[in-house]
């Protein structure tokens, strides 16, 4: 038997969840580091009762990605850096089509990975490329970029949870 006040609590929690933005993470990965990072972010968001979904970019048709981005409350784009300051190969065709999407006002954040040993001048350049593209679409940045230098395993206890904590706060502000 649920008391009136407990019932109100359940209602308040349900309404909060209903109005809380759904997070969609679109990502590319070659060696798996970005996937590992994104999986951790999704798990941490879910622990905070924030609905989050990840989509590996090359596994879906553009139409499905556009549709999912359209309904998502928050879009996160994640890519490592390859080839002297470029996006990961599967993120490039997606990136080239981004300007066709209606993203004005869409809350977003990005995740970039890299290693200084390859080309320090373009260290984690993927995050800058993604942010510039989303800004050009007039999407609304709600959180600073998560930049992972070297293996994400080194950041599982520190940078990734701290960044996700702040992201969750920013998402709750949107509710
Ligand atoms: C051929 C090659 C080129 C790379 N170029 C860059 C680069 O220009 N800048 C950078 O910061 N990292 C660079 N990296 C490092 C990767 O971005 C990094 O290892 C990343 O964690 C890989 O992510 P993934 O496992 O999700 O593919 C390069 C790695 C390789 C193998």
pLDDT tens track for 53-90 = 999 999 999 999 999 999 999 999 999 999 999 999 99
Q: For residues 122, 135, 57 and 175, what is the CA-based torsion angle, rounded to 10 degrees? A: 130
Separation of alpha carbons 173 and 46, rounded Å: 17
Tell me the C-alpha to C-alpha distance, in Å, between residue 25 and each of 13, 14, 172. Answer: 24, 23, 17
pLDDT digits (tens, 9 = 90+) for 32-51: 999 999 999 999 999 999 99
pLDDT for 14 beyond 80 = no
Q: Say if 78 falls within a structural domain.
A: yes
In a domain, 108, yes or no: yes
Cα 135 to ligand 1 centre (Å): 24
**What pTM was computed for the model?**
0.91
- Judge whether residue 19 has pLDDT over 70: no
The pLDDT of residue 130 is 98
Asked whether residue 88 is assigned to any structural domain, the reply reads: yes
66 domain residue, yes or no: yes
Cβ–ligand 1 contact at 118 (below 6 Å): yes
Domain that residue 83 falls in: 21-174
CB 147 within 8 A of CB 110: no
* Closest among 127, 109, 119, 112 to 166, alpha carbons compared: 109
Q: Specify the pairing of strand 86-87 against strand 74-82.
A: antiparallel
For ligand 1, atom 16: residue with the closest CA: 114
Does residue 27 lie within any of the structural domains? yes
43 is a domain residue: yes
Q: Considering the domain boundaries, does residue 31 fall inside one?
A: yes
> 145: domain CATH number?
3.40.50.360
* 13 domain-assigned: no
Residue 161 burial class via C-beta count within 10 angstroms: exposed 0-12, middle 13-18, buried 19 and up: middle
Given pLDDT bands bounded at 50, 70 and 90, which one contains residue 20? low
User: Which residue among 33, 82, 155 is best mutated to probe the pocket of ligand 1, counting the most ligand atoms within 8 A of its Cβ?
Assistant: 82
The atom number, within ligand 1, closest to the CA of 29 reads: 26
CA distances from residue 148 to 110, 113, 120, 125, 164 in whole angstroms, order as listed? 11, 5, 14, 11, 13
Which residues 6+ apart lie within 8 Å of 132 measured at CB?
Answer: none
How many distinct structural domains can be found in the chain? 1
What is the rounded CA–CA span in Å between residue 170 and residue 175? 9
Nearest one of 94, 159, 167, 88 to 127, comparing CA atoms: 88
């Amino acid at each position: 038997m649920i008391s009136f006040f407990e019932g109100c609590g359940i209602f308040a929690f349900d309404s909060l969840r209903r109005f809380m933005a759904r997070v969609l993470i679109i990502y590319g990965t070659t060696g798996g580091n970005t996937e590992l990072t994104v999986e951790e972010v999704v798990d941490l968001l879910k622990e905070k009762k924030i609905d989050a979904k990840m989509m590996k970019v090359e596994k879906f048709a553009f139409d499905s990605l556009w549709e999912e981005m359209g309904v998502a409350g928050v879009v996160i784009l994640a890519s490592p850096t390859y080839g002297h300051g470029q996006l990961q190969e599967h993120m490039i065709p997606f990136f080239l089509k981004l300007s066709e999407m209606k993203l004005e006002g869409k809350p977003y954040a990005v995740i970039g990975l890299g290693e200084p040993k390859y080309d320090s001048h373009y260290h984690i350049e993927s995050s800058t490329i993604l942010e510039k593209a989303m800004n050009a679409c007039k999407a609304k940045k709600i959180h600073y970029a998560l930049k992972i230098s070297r293996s994400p395993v080194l950041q599982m206890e520190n940078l990734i949870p701290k960044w996700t904590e702040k992201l969750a706060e920013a998402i709750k502000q949107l509710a």
